[in-house]
Structure 1
Amino acid sequence: LLDVALPPGFSRNRYVYLSYAESDGKRSGTAVGRGRLSDDGRALEDFRVLFRQAPKLSTGVHYGARLVFDGRGYLYISLGENYQRMAAQDLDKLQGKIVRLREDGSVPPDNPYAGKPGARAEIWSYGHRNPQGLALHPRTGQLWESEHGPRGGDEVNLVKRGANYGWPLATYGIDYSGRPIPEARGGEAPGTEQPLYWWKQSPAISGMAFYDADRFPAWRNSLFLGALADRDLIRLTLDGDKVVAEERLLGERSSRIRDVRQGPDGYVYVLTDASPGELLRVAPAQPGE
């Protein structure tokens, strides 16, 4: 199980969406389905699969699988490249992509590659490595994404329609062996988008969320990201679409931070992926901030 999300119409339709890894016995990929929450709140009824990543290429890694609803009837899904680097550049595959669907799983006819030979109509953007963060900016409605680099080169990106985010042709990271990525042409490559922000040493960023609540004014205009390798919560201070400061909030913990959300009460909630897992409620250290 990789993500759980409620659509804007949940109070009316009681749908719950799940993303998860699905195997065919040899390889695996990301799938997304939805079910209706039962009247007693104890089960999902009439669950059905709406989307499957194809072809299945993963041996157990790089699923991505964050879910975001834009409030206009569309669902965005982030998909890892399954550790098959060049698949992120292949438009006939759904690895290393962000896809856009209608909430019922159908493909919008105005997607950038709909109707183009040799391309999957679901694709919204491509050239992603392993995007584990996806969120809408609360003021602009712009879709933002964060993804793991290899050894270095973790990124935050503004997702644009039909754009290529470069992996593995453009990266600021190196291979885990310490050698360059074989396909990489450096930090930039023709026809690819530059990240909004990136790290030379990978914190292994995971889930992310914007903060737009009134409870803690000093945190407004912030983007929070979990860190798996660094075991911390990262706060990026924003000025429009620019990152102007970075802060680490929790110190090195014994658990990796898997996801982060703004709660309806204005606190920040953090999920660890330890065993047993923890749900943490986070507030500024200084009263009044």
Structure 2
Amino acid sequence: MSRSHDTVTIRPITGPDEIALFNRLPYTINHELDDDLADKRRRPEWMWVAVRGDRLLARVAWWGRSGDDTPLLLDVLDVDDTAEDLTEVAQTLYETAAKQVLAPGAVPPEYGRFIPADWRENPDTYRVVRTRMGVLESTGARLTVERLRLEWRPAAGLPTPDRRLAFRPALDTDELVALMTRALDGTLDAHSRTDLAQMSPHEVALKHYEQELATYSSPREWWRIGTLGENGEPVGFVVPARNAYHPVIAYLGVVPEHRGHGYVDGLLAEGTRTLAAEDVPRIRAATDLGNVPMAKAFARAGYVNFERAINMAW
């Protein structure tokens, strides 16, 4: 399908042969798109462009887990920032593509974008980010949360273990979901708080487990429950894993009755050490900008804030 808009053609890409065209607009994940197509995390019909002649004006793309029939995230929306104001073109591109990609009446998948850590301080970067947010705001989307993207590298050294804690693999799904449920009490995570407004804590925990944690192909034996001494009471859990792109600290929680004692550092240290033992070049993690205690824990463990991310929802 194609649609003309004042000599602008709006259409999906034809296939992997058009990745070079799609990547004419710069973005930090461009290098991943070939593999995403090959591994079926993307489809050509989920990747749309607005072109005038042979010039790429704007692009959008959705992402899903390998083999999914419907996308889970809108993670590419770009315009040619060197040209005239293309906001209207980008809005038309998004609306046209969304009608073809998304089911009628469905709530659109969340929008996520990686942005520089100093985006507010740099006028050019601020304009780039705000232009893309403005396109989606015009369709009804609103900012959900801004997140810190964090990275640990071996040169930072391993964080110090907490000798108060013992660890065992989190192999019992029911036990882990129960701990996740308890850890949601007082959570500062924006996505969890949104879910809690619509579901019970157990339902939120089970959703997180089934839709994210259970999808990792890395060993379940990496997941840890931290206890007070051998065979002691659980204080929390950490889920080190490998997603489709990087080793990650996928999830970490401390149950309410054990907060305020610094156990978060021991849990994070254990997760980091578990992945570091696999000789990984880096470990990635993320936390909400507003979750200051968790951000400080990552900093103490040697994680650096290398980027941010924004999420918007309809």
Q: Would you tell me which structure has more strand in proportion to its own residues?
A: 1
Under a length normalisation based on structure 2, what TM-score does the superposition of the two structures give? 0.31
Under a length normalisation based on structure 1, what TM-score does the superposition of the two structures give? 0.33
Larger radius of gyration: 2
